[in-house]
Amino acid sequence: MQGKVTLEDHFATEATLGDSQPFGAHVWPELRYRLLDFHDQRLRLMDAAGVEIMIASLNAPAIQGIANSQRAAEVARAANDILAEQIASRRDRFAAVAALPMQDPELAARELQRCVRDLGMCGALVNGYSQVEGSNVPIHYDVTQYRSFWRTVCDLDVPFYLHPRPPVPGTLPLYEGHSWLLGPTWSFAGDTSLHALRLIGSGLFDEYPRLQIILGHLGEGLPFFIWRIDNRNNWMKAAHKYAARKRVVDYFRSNFHLTTSGHFSTPALVNAITEIGPERVMFSVDYPFEDFSDAAEWFDNAQISEADRLAIGRTNALKLFKLGGDDRSAL
């Protein structure tokens, strides 16, 4: 399929580059180049894979791994400025989502406003929970002090991508002797799905019903578990004790979108389509940690309808990110 849009694909700045080395130390020279490059190999690989538009985002954990909120804000602002500069000359091929200093909800809201209103960005991507100075406890965004931030997201009417990050040191003993489970194998999905469920259970989407959250990797396992989450031990008739007013699946189908980033499995794609609808699934690669050719070859040949392929591969993202409708010319 030509004219695809991809939206979980990363770059790095010199300040955040080292965060990605653990995910590809054995191929670091190539991975390093791919993270820093915009207009050379990145564009060639997009062309070869039939990708017209990349919505680029910062690598992980980057801002969320900086405990000092002022420093996090400085690094985020610099990264967003670099990204805006990179895409300015090729707005036909690139769009951008903002990195945010979520350690401080007010700073995060101000940076999002700047990025959307002044830099022309079309949303935000945040790498999971944040580390905060003076605490060993990771901060999730369901807690009360983040309600004003979520109000800003709604006022700007942009989507928020909840992306994974490596575990904080305090949780690493859970993986002792099994470091192979860290990252995309398991910990990314476990941590991010938990965070998404916390947002749902907190009643956030009752307060802000227009809020739209994106999850990568075909939903971090949630489409497969969504029935059991709502219906566990159903005969006991024990409703969830949470602030939310509705079932988890109701919010999942009205406030969440999923991408195929790094999860190129047709059964998993079909499961996601069945649970959330084809209009809420979008193609993505997870470049440079995954390869364009792998993603495109799988997606272009996946056994789904051509109508769903067009929606998932292109038009859903154009609509969600307000990228000028479908009047862009395909490659």
pLDDT band at residue 328, thresholds of 50, 70 and 90? Answer: very low
Candidate from 20-24, 42-46, 234-238 with smallest mean pLDDT: 234-238
At residue 322's C-alpha, the angle toward residues 316 and 328, to 5°, is 80
Tell me phi and psi for residue 109, to 5 degrees: -65, -40
Query: What's the pTM value of the predicted model, to 2 decimals?
Result: 0.95
Q: Are strands 160-163 and 213-215 parallel, antiparallel or unpaired?
A: parallel
DSSP assignment of 242-254 equals: SS-SS-HHHHHHH
pLDDT band at residue 313, thresholds of 50, 70 and 90? Answer: very high
* 330 pLDDT above the threshold of 70: no
Over residues 66-82, the pLDDT tens digits come to: 999 999 999 999 999 99
Tell me phi and psi for residue 91, to 5 degrees: -70, -10
Over residues 230-277, the pLDDT tens digits come to: 998 888 888 899 999 999 999 999 999 999 999 999 999 999 999 999
Active site residues: 286
What is the number of other CB atoms lying within 10 angstroms of the CB of residue 285?
A: 30
- CB of 154 within 8 A of CB of 208? yes
What is the SS3 assignment for 98?
A: strand
pLDDT for 326: 47
- CB of 56 within 8 A of CB of 90? no
Q: Give the single-character DSSP code of 330.
A: P
* 331 pLDDT above the threshold of 70: no
* Total residue length of the chain: 331
| Segment (H or E) for 120 | none
Average pLDDT estimate for 106-121:
98
pLDDT for 327: 43
What's the longest Cα–Cα distance across the chain?
Answer: 60
Over residues 146-162, the pLDDT tens digits come to: 999 999 999 999 999 99
pLDDT band at residue 325, thresholds of 50, 70 and 90? Answer: low
Calpha distance 331→319 (Å, rounded): 19
pLDDT for 169: 73
CATH number of 4-227+259-320: 3.20.20.140
